[in-house]
Structure 1
Amino acid sequence: MGDPALSRRGFLAASAATGLGMTALSGCGGDSDGGSSDGTTTIEWWNISTTEPAHTVWAALAKKFEAQNPKVKVKIVQMENDAYKSKMTALIASGKLPDIFHTWGGGVLKQQVDAGLVEDLTDKTKPWADDLLKVSKEAYLIDDKVYGIPFDIGMIGFWYNKALFKQAGITEPPTTWGAFLEAVSKLKSKNITPIALAGKEKWPGMYYWAYLAMRTAGASALQKAYDDKDFTGPEFVQAGAHLKDLVALQPFQKGFLNAAYSTPTGQAASVGNGKAAMELMGQWAPQVEADAGKGLGKDLGFFPFPAVDGGKGAITEVFGGGGGHALRRGAPQAAVDFLKFFASEATDLELVKKTGTLPVVPGAESAITDANLKAVQAQLNGATGFQLYLDQAYAPAVGQEVNDSVAALIAGSKSPEQVAQSITKVTKEEQ
C-alpha cells in the first residue's frame, strides 16, 4: 500500500487490489445547468471507492437516493486514488469541478476554495451537519466556514500484541513517552522485536514525528508552524530528539529500512504474524495485518500515542483524517440533498456494517461490533484536538519533505535540527 492517502480513507473498506473503475466519465458537473427539459436534475458524483465492498455499496446508495428523489439522476464517476488526484488537478486548472467530489480537506481543499471553485455549505447544511462528530468536520472548516461534509473518520494509534506485552511483563499500555521507551526496553530484554516499521515507504515513520510534535508543542502548533513558515522552534527540535531516543534503542525489525507496509514480509505482516509487538498505524491496521499475515484475533489491542512528559499536548489530541464530499460552486440543490442523504444515520449505519467505516453520525456507533474499533471510536469521541495528516494539511511538497526528512532521521543521516530546518526551507519555497 504505497499511497498512505488510499489507506487512510479506510483500508477496512478497500483491501482488494485497486484498479481504474471509471463510469460515465463524460464531461464534468461544472458544465451542467443542473436540469433538463423533462424536469430531471442530473448531478455528477466523483469518488474513489473503486474497491469492494465499497464500490458496490456506494453504487447502491446512489440508486437508493434516486428512488427517494425521482426527479434526480446521479451520474457516478469512480476513480482510483492517484488517477482521481491527477484528474482533479487538471479540472482545478480549468476552473470546472464536478457537482459532488471527494475531498480530504486541508490544504488542497483550501486551494480550491481560494480559487473560488467550491460552494460554501455553512448555511445550507447547518440544520443537520451540526450533529455530526465534531472531530470529523475539522478538516473541512476554512476560515470558520464549512466547505465539505465528512463520511468517515479515523486516527493513528498503536496496535499491539497483548500476549507479547504480557511475556515482557508489561501489564498496561504506556500512557507517557518515558513509559513507552521503558516498554520497548522490556520487550527487547525478552528478545521480542518491539516495533515493526515500513522504512522503505517513509510515511509510516512520519507518524512518530508528527505525534511527538503534537505532544510537545500541542495540537494546534503544527498548523501554526506551517502558516508561520517556521518549524525550527524548540518543541519541533525536541520532537525529533524524542524520536532519536527511540531509534537509539534499535526497536525496529531487522531490515526495516527496506521493508514495505502491506507485503508478506512488511510492517503489517510482522505484527499480524506475532514477530513484532507493535505498529503505529490507522484504524485499518487489523484488516491489513490479517490480509498480509495471520492476524492476532483476541491478542490484538489498541492504545493512543502516549503523552510527552512536560509537553503542551494532551493524550486526547488526535492525529488522523478521513474522507468527505464537497460541492462545486453553484451546484444544484439536489447535490446538497445528496450530501444530507449520505450523512444520514441510515446511510452511515449501512457504511459501518458493510464497509467497516468508522461513523461520523453518533447514532451509527451502535453498528460497531469490533472491540478495538470501539476503542478507536471512543478516542475520537473524546478528542480535545485534531491534526489532519500532514500530506493533506500541507502543500504536497511540504508533506513529502516531512516524510523524507523524518525517514533520514530514523536512518541516522539527519539530526533533529536538520529535520526542522529542511521542512522550514521547503515550506518557505512553497508558500
Structure 2
Amino acid sequence: MISLGRRSVALLAAASLLLGGCASEDGGDTGKAASKTIEWWHIQNIEPMLPVWQALATEYQKAHPGITIKVTPLENEAYKAKLTTLTQSGSIPDIFNTWGGGVLQQQIEAGLAKDITADIAPWADTLTPASVQPYQFDGKTYAVPFDVGMVGFWYNKALFAKAGVSEPPTTWTGFLDTVKKLKAAGITPIALGGKDKWPGHYYWAYLAMRVAGLPALKQAGADATFTAPEFVQAGERLKELVDLDPFQKGFLGAGYGTPDGQAALMGSGKAAMELMGQWAPTVQRDSSGTPDGIGDDLAFFPFPAVEGGKGDATDAFGGGGGFAVGKDAPPEAIDFLKFISNLDNQRRAVATGAFLPVVKGAEDAIKDAKLASVSEALGKAAGFQLYLDQAYAPAVGQQVNDSVAELIAGTLGAKEVTEAITETAKNE
C-alpha cells in the first residue's frame, strides 16, 4: 500500500519473455478434458499473504482437475513495471492486481480488462459497496476487491494528554486548535514525509472532499477542470495548517518509511499525529525499530469535518486492492475469484492482519483493535474517494502530488495549485 501513487517506468525486456500466454488450452486427442492454465499476478510477495494466496490456489486446483493456477507474486514497483511492459504489447494476465482509478480505466479503454458485471452478479451483493467503487466505471464493474482501507489520523494518546487534549478533534477548527496546543506543550504536532510527496496530497484531497464534496471531485476529473472556488478554498485551508508550522524539522527532506522519516517519528513517540492509511501501525513499528511502536498509546480518528463544507463528514478517502480479469481469460478465472472471495476464505485473509474486509460478515476476523477502528469508520462512510493519484490519469495524479507538495513548501499558492492540476488534465 505505501507505494500507491508513485509511478514506475517500464525498463524491462519484451513481454514475450515474461510469459508464454495468459490463458492456454491443451486438448490433445486422448479424449481427456481440456486443461487450462490461469495466469495470476499479485503483489503479496511476502508474509503474511504470500502463503495464503498460494494455499488457496492449490486448494482450487485440487477441487478442479485440469485447472492450473500459475501464481506470479511480485514486489509492488516491479509489478507495475512488468505489467506496463506487458500491456504495451497488447497482452495482459488472466487475473491481475489493480488499484482501480485512472490506470484501470486506461486498460479498459485499451480493451485489455474485461467487464465482469454480469459474471459476478450472482454474488456481487456479498461485497461491501465502498470496496467495489474504485473498480466501477459507467455502471460497470471491472474488478473484484480483496482489500479496502482508508486514510485517517493516527495519534499518540499520551502526547495528546500531555498537551491537555482530552478527545480527538471532529472539526477543522478543532484540529487547528489541537495543533496549537501540542506546539505550546513543546510537542511536534504532525509527522510528514515531504520528500515522498504522496503523503502530503492526502491533506488537500481530504479538504477538497470536505469543502467541495465527492461529486465535485468526480466532475473535475471528467471536465479536466480543478479551478472551482471550493478547490481553491481547500488549498487555503491547508495553508492555514502549514502556517502553524506543525511538521517536524526537516520534513521536506524526510521520507515516509525511512529510519528518520514520518512513520519512524510516530513509532518512536516523537510526533503526535500522522495522516496515513490502515497500514500505519506496521510501518511505524518497522521504521522505528521498536517491537510494537507506541503500543496502546496509538489510536485512530477520521479526518475532521470542515465547517460550511458541502461534503459529507463521514466520506472516506483511501483505496485497497482488487483483481481485474484479462480480456481473454477463461470463465474459470471468474470462478476462482468467487472462490477466494467467499466468506470463509475472506476471513482467512483478514485474520492475517494484512487486509480489511471486503466481504460482508468477515469483520469478526479482525484481531487487531486498531484495524477494527478503521473498519468501523469505513462502515459508517456515506461515500468513498480513491486516492487522487490513482483516481485520475497518472500524469494528473502526479501533478496533484507535485503541486500540493509545493503548497506545503510555501512555493505555490492555493489558486496556483488548481491551475497547475487543470493545465495537466487539459493536456491529457
What is the TM-score of this pair, normalised by structure 2?
A: 0.93
CA contact (8 A) 2:407 2:414 kept: yes
Q: Cα distance 1:199–1:374, how it changes in 2: closer, same or farther (>3 A)?
A: same
CA contact (8 A) 2:353 2:368 kept: no
CA contact (8 A) 1:204 1:280 kept: yes
Please tell me whether residue 56 in structure 1 is matched to residue 38 in structure 2.
no
> Distance between the aligned counterparts of 2:77 and 2:21, measured in 1?
18
> Structure 1, residues 230-261: CA drift from partner, whole Å, max 9, x if none?
11111100000000000000000111111111
2:241 matched to which residue of 1? 246
Counterparts of 1:156-235 in structure 2, within 5 Å, are: 156-235=151-230
CA contact (8 A) 2:4 2:390 kept: no
Q: Cα distance 1:56–1:396, how it changes in 2: closer, same or farther (>3 A)?
A: same
1:28 matched to which residue of 2? 21
Unaligned runs of 5+ in 1: 7-23
- Which amino acid in structure 2 is aligned with residue 28 of structure 1? G
Counterparts of 1:101-140 in structure 2, within 5 Å, are: 101-140=96-135
Counterparts of 1:324-335 in structure 2, within 5 Å, are: 324-335=322-333
CA-CA distance at 1:78 after TM superposition: 2.0
Please tell me whether residue 69 in structure 1 is matched to residue 67 in structure 2.
no
> Distance between the aligned counterparts of 2:27 and 2:19, measured in 1?
17
> Distance between the aligned counterparts of 1:360 and 1:107, measured in 2?
21
1:373 matched to which residue of 2? 371
CA-CA distance at 1:144 after TM superposition: 0.2
2:9 matched to which residue of 1? none
2:13 matched to which residue of 1? none
- Which amino acid in structure 1 is aligned with residue 259 of structure 2? P
1:288 matched to which residue of 2? 283
- Which amino acid in structure 1 is aligned with residue 82 of structure 2? K
Q: Cα distance 1:237–1:215, how it changes in 2: closer, same or farther (>3 A)?
A: same
- Which amino acid in structure 2 is aligned with residue 406 of structure 1? V
> Distance between the aligned counterparts of 2:2 and 2:136, measured in 1?
28
> Distance between the aligned counterparts of 1:47 and 1:35, measured in 2?
25
1:350 matched to which residue of 2? 348
> Distance between the aligned counterparts of 1:395 and 1:36, measured in 2?
42
> Distance between the aligned counterparts of 1:139 and 1:36, measured in 2?
38
1:384 matched to which residue of 2? 382
> Distance between the aligned counterparts of 1:377 and 1:161, measured in 2?
19
1:4 matched to which residue of 2? 4
Equivalent residue of 1:404, what SS?
helix
CA-CA distance at 1:263 after TM superposition: 1.5
Identity of matched residues, % = 57
CA contact (8 A) 1:197 1:259 kept: yes
CA-CA distance at 1:127 after TM superposition: 1.1
Equivalent residue of 2:165, what SS?
coil
- Which amino acid in structure 1 is aligned with residue 42 of structure 2? N
> Distance between the aligned counterparts of 1:54 and 1:371, measured in 2?
20
What is the TM-score of this pair, normalised by structure 1?
A: 0.92
CA-CA distance at 1:122 after TM superposition: 0.8
Is the deviation greater in 296-305 or in 86-95?
86-95
> Distance between the aligned counterparts of 2:19 and 2:209, measured in 1?
44
Equivalent residue of 2:20, what SS?
coil
- Which amino acid in structure 1 is aligned with residue 58 of structure 2? K
Please tell me whether residue 78 in structure 1 is matched to residue 77 in structure 2.
no
CA contact (8 A) 1:2 1:201 kept: no
Q: Cα distance 1:355–1:71, how it changes in 2: closer, same or farther (>3 A)?
A: farther
> Distance between the aligned counterparts of 2:84 and 2:256, measured in 1?
27
Unaligned runs of 5+ in 2: 7-16
Please tell me whether residue 398 in structure 1 is matched to residue 396 in structure 2.
yes
> Structure 1, residues 371-390: CA drift from partner, whole Å, max 9, x if none?
22111101111211111111
CA contact (8 A) 1:259 1:267 kept: yes
CA-CA distance at 1:355 after TM superposition: 4.5
